[in-house]
Structure 1
């Protein structure tokens, strides 16, 4: 990932369901300063190359949600 466009990994891996069905497969949480930064990362040449490799082995679902002040 480009040093200019970088998110912060908050967690990932297996999950435990508290209420309802958990998402299938692995879950990764990444915090971004803005949706614009996340979209720059998503469409970066580095991610595009990595995604093409990853799609040979799995499928992806990416969601964005608004954060709350800390």
Structure 2
């Protein structure tokens, strides 16, 4: 079953965050992860949620999503993200 990591990011250091963006794509490949949404404009249709930078990642399974998030390959990028932004990450399973 596919899984998605939904990320709401508030970038605090845009220059440093560019380094994060450069590293992330390669870290996803070993886990068959891919970007579904990567920034871009958002529009609240209901409620008052005002996300910063919204990102959605797709993985073949929740296990692969968690393995990517905790992997040594993602660790350098994750450290940069944590320095250059604040974020909320949510793992959700897809439907069959």
Q: TM-score if structure 2 supplies the norm length?
A: 0.63
Moved over 6 A (4+): none
Bigger relative contact order (CA 8 A; separation at least 6)? 2
Runs of at least 5 residues in structure 1 that lack an aligned partner in the other structure: none
Structure (1/2) with the larger strand percentage: 2
Q: TM-score if structure 1 supplies the norm length?
A: 0.82
Residues 1-70 of structure 1: pairs in structure 2 closer than 5 A:
1=27, 3-13=29-39, 14-69=41-96
Runs of at least 5 residues in structure 2 that lack an aligned partner in the other structure: 1-26
CA-based RMSD of the aligned residues comes to: 1.6
How many residues align? The count is: 69
